[in-house]
């Protein structure tokens, strides 16, 4: 079939600013081609890199220009090679020009397909669009975009674009970025294109639909508002669960010499009477029985067909109601979308009028649907508006199936207000909870929404495809751990601003959980903090395991930037663990020193001493790990000098008992403090420098 033959050209930005995110781009692209390899074996894929050192493309040879655009792979049917290629995308050194890459991509598609294959070609651009594009030879950049997009439209080329914006935009580059965004958005005016902005690696992995499924209508026909007024609509599935691939059962019976063995297993069912286990009842002698009380009533399918419900095909409106009347949790199944018949302007306007009126008045419609003639059941559902924000996409509806009376189980639950007072939160606790809910905001106004379902990949499938590829190379490989980027969606974000952390701590301090002594089952272990399955690093001591976890964590995960008041030690450790820039270590040490200083300065009768000692111990440990003993020793001397005459002298007397001493040569080679000196501090201070 012709329609299955799609062609895709990946345009990947590999310029220096993309390096940090390229691992995720690799994941996204390999997943994409892997699924093509499994489900759409005849799709074709080409790969173009830009921002590379080298230049290799036909346009450069033909007309010149188009530097730093490298055609990594021509448009060819997907194969194992392309998976490997995308596993290791070469990094480039030059700022890439995405416009050049787009032109190269279009050129490849046109040369390959000419006027054929319209609507089945797609360009997919992944970039952060941080570098300015070159000025065209003639006209403005906008003119150039117009020219390119009319060309794309003429050849039926679709355009998908993923723009990555990880950090807040720096003011210097802002004008460039704004211009680029403006140019990219201009594409969507004339062509079928989709531009998504993502701001974290997880969203990037989920940014593209990796499996292409051509939509199939569930129903085409009239939406009957009444007997005289009908609107032509097409109904499609809007959501549908992508299942874990169905694996076949493997049989090892075939001799290994047999190259054509399928290794498949057939499953055979036989029905036997319970009284006589040897007697097999042939299929035509079987009859279906339904239970009625203790009896089973046999009903043949012919009998059944003659009496069962046979509703007529059709979608009928029952009426409208307030949207608040239908609670969200009554939605039963996957969702449908009602689209006005394409090209039918009257239907488009009619749907648009109703959708917009519904939105204005907060109404929804109740429909009764029979999708096909001969189907034995009806569904009742709610039609809600989907007002399009794009000029070239018509308004449509979403349709959710509602339960019937039989589907609802009326279980009674106690009112919260009837619970004993001890089970109810008091005003302070409620305030802490309010704060907690407010702080753990996944959709802050200044950022993109986090963990949006549209951009969140299925972690199990991701893991399966990765494992599949791994196994095809090493058959005895063990299951890889869950991808670190995807871990974000199964565990709370460890990288929280300190204000959020304080909200959690505050929440924590207001509530107390304890195990019910009457119920001592092994299952209650769940209550205790349990290391997650993927983390084998947890040691006996909770705090050391934290350090280890922080140390092994990917640089992209930990992004503590200063020492906060709520969890200074954790912040410090997180900063020390950052590997993206060595300056963080000095920053962490300085931050911790300032923090300890503050603690001591504000102490009243030694109330902050325990915390200060803890911090000092952490600082000491960090300085040993990072081989910065002088930083610590100097700080300790400095503290002592500052306060030896004040009442803080007490503080220094506690230190040796807590094993907080100067760092010695044996602990860190850079130190010039002997064991003896360390032992005597602070009694006989002898500054070494």
Segment 284 to 343, residues that bind other proteins, using CB under 8 A: 285-300, 304, 307-309, 311, 316-321, 325-335, 337, 339, 342-343
Rounded to an integer, what distance in angstroms lies between the CA atom of residue 78 and that of residue 211?
14
Neighbour count for residue 233 (Cβ, 10 Å): 24
Size of the site for other proteins (CB under 8 A): 216
Q: Residue 122 Cβ, how far from other proteins at the closest point, in Å?
A: 10
The piece of 47-55, 267-275, 645-653, 670-678 that touches other proteins (CB under 8 A) is: 267-275
Length of the chain: 689
When binding is defined by CB under 8 A, the residue of 1, 2, 172, 513 that contacts other proteins is 513
Q: Residue 641 Cβ, how far from other proteins at the closest point, in Å?
A: 39
Q: Residue 154 Cβ, how far from other proteins at the closest point, in Å?
A: 11
Q: Which is nearer to other proteins, 210 or 608 (CB)?
A: 210
The piece of 64-72, 102-110, 506-514, 597-605 that touches other proteins (CB under 8 A) is: 506-514
Q: Which is nearer to other proteins, 235 or 563 (CB)?
A: 235
When binding is defined by CB under 8 A, the residue of 394, 622, 629, 682 that contacts other proteins is 394
- Partners of 236 in the β-ladder: 217, 337
When binding is defined by CB under 8 A, the residue of 374, 492, 539, 610 that contacts other proteins is 492
The DSSP code sequence of 49-100 is EES-SS-B-HHHHHHS--TTEEEEEEEEE--HHHHHHHHSPPP--S---HHH
Residue ranges in 589-628 that form contacts with other proteins under rule CB under 8 A: none
Please, are residues 335 and 399 in contact by the beta-carbon 8 Å criterion?
A: yes
- Write the binding mask 341 to 360 for other proteins: x where contact by CB under 8 A, - elsewhere: -xx-xx-xxx-xxxxxxx-x
522 binds other proteins (CB under 8 A): no
Q: Which is nearer to other proteins, 422 or 683 (CB)?
A: 422
568 binds other proteins (CB under 8 A): no
Please, are residues 574 and 587 in contact by the beta-carbon 8 Å criterion?
A: no
Q: Residue 268 Cβ, how far from other proteins at the closest point, in Å?
A: 5
Q: Residue 49 Cβ, how far from other proteins at the closest point, in Å?
A: 24
Q: Which is nearer to other proteins, 154 or 594 (CB)?
A: 154
Rounded to an integer, what distance in angstroms lies between the CA atom of residue 385 and that of residue 400?
11
Q: Which is nearer to other proteins, 461 or 624 (CB)?
A: 461
The piece of 11-19, 447-455, 553-561, 669-677 that touches other proteins (CB under 8 A) is: 447-455
Residue ranges in 33-72 that form contacts with other proteins under rule CB under 8 A: 37-38
Distances (CA, A) of 24 to 30, 86, 180, 200, 485: 10, 11, 22, 10, 8
Token pair in block for residue 98 = 């995405």
Q: Residue 36 Cβ, how far from other proteins at the closest point, in Å?
A: 12
Q: Which is nearer to other proteins, 19 or 346 (CB)?
A: 346
All residues at 6 or more sequence positions from 260 whose CB lies less than 8 Å from its CB, including other chains: none
The piece of 362-370, 583-591, 645-653, 675-683 that touches other proteins (CB under 8 A) is: 362-370
Q: Residue 57 Cβ, how far from other proteins at the closest point, in Å?
A: 27
Please, are residues 479 and 45 in contact by the beta-carbon 8 Å criterion?
A: no
Residue ranges in 662-681 that form contacts with other proteins under rule CB under 8 A: none
Distances (CA, A) of 81 to 34, 88, 205, 269, 461: 11, 11, 21, 42, 21
The piece of 52-60, 163-171, 419-427, 668-676 that touches other proteins (CB under 8 A) is: 419-427
Q: Residue 650 Cβ, how far from other proteins at the closest point, in Å?
A: 33
Distances (CA, A) of 197 to 21, 27, 75, 127, 130: 14, 18, 27, 10, 13
Nearest Cα to Cα of residue 382 among 340, 313, 335, 415? 335
When binding is defined by CB under 8 A, the residue of 20, 458, 566, 603 that contacts other proteins is 458
Token pair in block for residue 345 = 């302007």
Residue ranges in 136-155 that form contacts with other proteins under rule CB under 8 A: 153
Q: Residue 555 Cβ, how far from other proteins at the closest point, in Å?
A: 21
Q: Residue 545 Cβ, how far from other proteins at the closest point, in Å?
A: 12
Token pair in block for residue 334 = 């996957």
Rounded to an integer, what distance in angstroms lies between the CA atom of residue 308 and that of residue 36?
43
When binding is defined by CB under 8 A, the residue of 48, 482, 569, 673 that contacts other proteins is 482
579 binds other proteins (CB under 8 A): no
Angle between helices 568-577 and 542-552 (to 10 degrees): 30
Nearest Cα to Cα of residue 67 among 35, 91, 99? 99
Q: Residue 606 Cβ, how far from other proteins at the closest point, in Å?
A: 28
Q: Residue 381 Cβ, how far from other proteins at the closest point, in Å?
A: 10
- Write the binding mask 365 to 384 for other proteins: x where contact by CB under 8 A, - elsewhere: -x-x-------xxx-x---x
Distances (CA, A) of 94 to 67, 68, 161: 10, 7, 21
When binding is defined by CB under 8 A, the residue of 90, 111, 305, 468 that contacts other proteins is 468
Neighbour count for residue 484 (Cβ, 10 Å): 15
Q: Give buried/exposed letters for 301-338 (b at 16+ CB in 10 A, else e).
A: eeeeeeeeeeeeebbbbeeeeebeebeeeebeeebbbb
Rounded to an integer, what distance in angstroms lies between the CA atom of residue 332 and that of residue 401?
5
Q: Which is nearer to other proteins, 326 or 617 (CB)?
A: 326
Please, are residues 5 and 35 in contact by the beta-carbon 8 Å criterion?
A: no
All residues at 6 or more sequence positions from 75 whose CB lies less than 8 Å from its CB, including other chains: 7, 9, 44, 45, 46, 108, 109, 112
When binding is defined by CB under 8 A, the residue of 170, 259, 514, 684 that contacts other proteins is 514
The piece of 17-25, 253-261, 553-561, 651-659 that touches other proteins (CB under 8 A) is: 253-261
When binding is defined by CB under 8 A, the residue of 393, 586, 594, 649 that contacts other proteins is 393
Q: Residue 291 Cβ, how far from other proteins at the closest point, in Å?
A: 5
When binding is defined by CB under 8 A, the residue of 56, 91, 134, 194 that contacts other proteins is 194
Residue ranges in 230-249 that form contacts with other proteins under rule CB under 8 A: 234, 236-249
Token pair in block for residue 670 = 């850079």
Q: Which is nearer to other proteins, 428 or 679 (CB)?
A: 428
526 binds other proteins (CB under 8 A): yes
Q: Residue 380 Cβ, how far from other proteins at the closest point, in Å?
A: 6
Rounded to an integer, what distance in angstroms lies between the CA atom of residue 146 and that of residue 140?
10
Rounded to an integer, what distance in angstroms lies between the CA atom of residue 320 and that of residue 340?
19
Q: Residue 393 Cβ, how far from other proteins at the closest point, in Å?
A: 5
Tokens 């499996």, residue located: 211
Q: Which is nearer to other proteins, 36 or 593 (CB)?
A: 36
């Amino acid at each position: 079939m012709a329609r299955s033959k799609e062609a895709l050209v990946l345009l990947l930005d590999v310029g220096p600013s993309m390096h940090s995110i390229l691992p995720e781009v690799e994941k996204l692209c390999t997943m994409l081609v892997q699924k093509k390899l499994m489900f759409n074996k005849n799709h074709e894929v080409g790969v173009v890199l830009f921002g590379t050192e080298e230049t290799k493309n036909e346009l450069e040879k033909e007309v010149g220009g188009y530097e730093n655009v490298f055609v990594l792979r021509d448009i060819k049917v997907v194969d194992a090679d392309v998976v490997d290629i995308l596993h290791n995308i070469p990094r480039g050194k030059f700022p890439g020009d995405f416009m050049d890459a787009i032109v190269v991509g279009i050129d490849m598609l046109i040369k390959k397909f000419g006027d054929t294959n319209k609507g089945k070609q797609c360009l997919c651009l992944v970039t952060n669009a941080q570098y300015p594009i070159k000025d065209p030879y003639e006209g403005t950049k906008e003119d150039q975009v117009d020219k390119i997009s009319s060309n794309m439209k003429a050849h039926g080329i679709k355009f998908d674009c993923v723009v990555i914006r990880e950090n807040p935009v720096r003011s210097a580059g802002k004008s460039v970025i704004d211009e680029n965004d403006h140019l990219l958005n201009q594409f969507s005016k004339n062509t079928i294109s989709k531009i998504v902005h993502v701001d974290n690696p997880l969203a990037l992995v989920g940014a593209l639909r990796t499996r292409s499924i051509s939509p199939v209508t569930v129903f085409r026909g009239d939406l009957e508002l009444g007997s005289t007024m009908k609107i032509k609509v097409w109904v499609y599935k809007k959501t549908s669960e992508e299942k874990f691939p169905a694996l076949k059962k493997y049989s090892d019976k075939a001799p290994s010499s047999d190259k054509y063995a399928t290794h498949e297993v057939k499953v055979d069912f036989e029905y036997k009477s319970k009284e006589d286990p040897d007697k097999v009842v042939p299929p035509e002698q079987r009859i279906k029985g339904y239970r009625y009380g203790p009896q089973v009533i046999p009903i043949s399918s012919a009998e059944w067909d003659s009496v069962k419900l046979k509703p007529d095909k059709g979608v009928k409106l029952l009426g409208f109601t307030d949207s608040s009347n239908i609670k969200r949790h009554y939605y039963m199944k996957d969702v449908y979308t009602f689209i006005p018949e394409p090209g039918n302007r009257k239907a488009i306007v009619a749907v648009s009028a109703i959708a917009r009126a519904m939105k204005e008045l907060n109404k929804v419609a109740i429909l009764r649907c029979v999708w096909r003639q001969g189907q034995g059941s009806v569904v009742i559902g709610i039609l809600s508006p989907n007002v399009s924000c794009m000029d070239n996409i018509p308004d449509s509806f979403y349709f959710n199936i509602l339960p019937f009376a039989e589907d609802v189980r009326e279980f009674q639950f106690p009112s919260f207000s009837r619970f004993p007072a001890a089970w109810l939160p008091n005003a302070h606790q409620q305030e802490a909870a309010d704060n907690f809910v407010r702080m753990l905001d996944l959709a802050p106004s200044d950022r993109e929404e986090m963990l949006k379902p549209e951009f969140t990949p299925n972690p199990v499938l991701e893991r399966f495809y990765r494992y599949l590829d791994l196994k095809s190379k090493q058959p005895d490989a063990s299951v890889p751990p869950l991808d670190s980027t995807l871990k974000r969606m199964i565990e709370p974000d460890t990288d929280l601003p300190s204000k959020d952390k304080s909200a959690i701590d505050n929440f924590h301090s207001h509530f107390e959980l304890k195990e019910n002594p009457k119920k001592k089952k092994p299952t209650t272990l769940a209550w205790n903090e349990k290391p997650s399955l993927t983390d084998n690093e947890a040691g006996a001591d909770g705090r050391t395991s934290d350090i280890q976890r922080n140390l092994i964590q990917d640089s992209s995960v930990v992004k503590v930037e200063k020492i906060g008041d709520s969890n200074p030690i954790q912040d410090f450790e997180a900063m020390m663990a950052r590997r993206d820039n060595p300056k963080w270590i000095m920053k962490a040490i300085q931050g911790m020193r300032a923090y300890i200083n503050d603690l001591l300065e504000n102490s009243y009768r030694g109330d902050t001493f325990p915390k200060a000692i803890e911090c000092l111990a952490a600082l000491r440990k960090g300085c040993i790990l990072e081989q910065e003993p002088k930083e610590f020793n100097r700080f300790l001397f400095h503290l002592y000098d500052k306060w030896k005459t004040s009442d803080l002298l007490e503080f220094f007397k506690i230190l040796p008992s807590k094993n907080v001493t100067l760092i010695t040569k044996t602990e860190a080679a850079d130190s010039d403090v002997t064991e003896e000196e360390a032992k005597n501090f602070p009694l006989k201070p002898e500054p070494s420098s």
